[in-house]
Amino acid sequence: MFLEFEKPIVGLENRIQDLRKYATEEGVDCGEEIKALEAKLDSLRRGIYSSLNAWQITQLARCPGRPYFLDYVNKLFNDFIEFHGDRVGMDDHALIGGPAFFKGESVMLIGHQKGRETKENLQRNFGMSHPEGYRKAQRLMKLAEKFFMPVITFIDTPGAYPGIAAEEHGQGRVIAENLKLMSELRTPIISIIIGEGGSGGALAIGMGNYIIMLENAIYSVISPEGCASILYKDAHRANDAAAALKLTANDLIELKVIDEVIPEPLGGAHHDADDMAKRLGKVLFKCLSKFKKMSPDKIVQDRYDRFRNMGIFLQSSSGLCLDEKNIHRD
């Protein structure tokens, strides 16, 4: 499966493959021609992937081949034990978690999990959690606090499930409860956006001391299609909405919404999942080492300061509104 903007790359790859097949079948030496095409392919890849727009990055973030939460668990952590249930009556398969070891240290993992096949996607509800999932996350975070285990959250969801049953079970309230709990949690929280970071469903496990984002992930208050439907009355203008939302990693690091961007292998994380996991592991080790030296009080204060300083405005009696860069009238 490939995306529309990847067609030139796929076309050139097919040419190289056909030429190799021809050389093998006919016993002809096409080494020079293949080498020239491979150089052209490398240049083409670098040119395309270095100049993606917001909508193209959104498509990459949603690519079903990208590594999901459990893929990173298997590649980076040892002895993961999945905990089930919210201790109220249900288990949610879109938001999962449990304790594990990272380089010999105990951590608590929580993350959205999508499926790759239809059956698995239905089981995982396409990564959209019900309230029971967020209640389960609360249970795991409280347990992590009790044993002073760092919490590592993996964000990859279009948003919290918007169905009637979810609303009847308190979707909005439970997300607010998650935010309150995370604001007070006396153990470090590291949040990683590995694919889609959509709306309150993402924020509900994203209030971290340190927020990391993969290069081709997205993080936004609403999906581009939803935004286009509301602002432009036309969901087909999702590409315009994606640009306006400032949802890419480069946008968000500039706005200081996130703290670090991890470059992906050329073409996206799904082109070399092992390399992507190694890159993420290095950043995780650095973060955990930093917070290991902090007291619980300092950790809470650090998280509080991080979110309080995200946007600074001063209101004067004249009606002027000042921030760090601009002066404008209300």
- The CATH number of the domain holding residue 193 is 3.90.226.10
Shared domain check, 150 and 29: no
Shared domain check, 73 and 43: no
Shared domain check, 215 and 198: yes
Boundary-marking domain end, from 34, 51, 68: 51
Which two structure tokens, joined as six digits, stand for 168?
Answer: 């009847």
pLDDT for 168 equals 87
pLDDT for 324 equals 47
Shared domain check, 298 and 190: yes
Q: pLDDT tens digits, residue range 149-190?
A: 999 999 999 989 889 988 888 899 999 999 999 999 999 999
Shared domain check, 41 and 75: no
Closest by CA to 64, choosing from 164, 197, 156, is 156
Residue 327 lies in a domain: no
Mode of pairing for the β-strands spanning 95-102 and 105-112? antiparallel
Shared domain check, 157 and 283: yes
Residue 321 lies in a domain: no
Give the contacts of 243 (CB within 8 A, at least 6 positions apart).
53, 54, 55
Residue 314 lies in a domain: no
Q: Cα dist. 90→85, 124, 131, 133, 168 in Å?
A: 5, 14, 10, 9, 14
Shared domain check, 204 and 123: yes
Residue 190 lies in a domain: yes
pLDDT for 19 equals 87
Contact 193, 202 (CB under 8 A): yes
Residue 134 lies in a domain: yes
Shared domain check, 169 and 112: yes
Residue 120 lies in a domain: yes
DSSP character at residue 318: T
pLDDT for 313 equals 61
Number of H helices, E strands in the chain: 14, 10
Closest by CA to 57, choosing from 216, 211, 170, is 216
Mode of pairing for the β-strands spanning 314-315 and 320-322? antiparallel
Report the half-sphere exposure of 232 (CA within 13 A, side-chain side). Answer: 15
Shared domain check, 94 and 20: no
Residue 313 lies in a domain: no
Shared domain check, 268 and 218: yes
Q: Which domain holds residue 30?
A: 4-51
Contact 161, 119 (CB under 8 A): no
Flag residues of the chain having pLDDT under 50. 322, 324-330
Shared domain check, 133 and 43: no
Q: 253-260 contacts: CB < 8 A, separation 24 or more?
A: 253/213, 256/309, 256/310, 257/211, 257/219, 257/310, 258/193, 258/211, 258/212, 258/213, 258/219, 259/210, 259/211, 259/212, 260/210, 260/211, 260/212, 260/213
What is the number of structural domains in the chain?
2
Shared domain check, 70 and 42: no
Contact 73, 266 (CB under 8 A): no
Residue 145 lies in a domain: yes
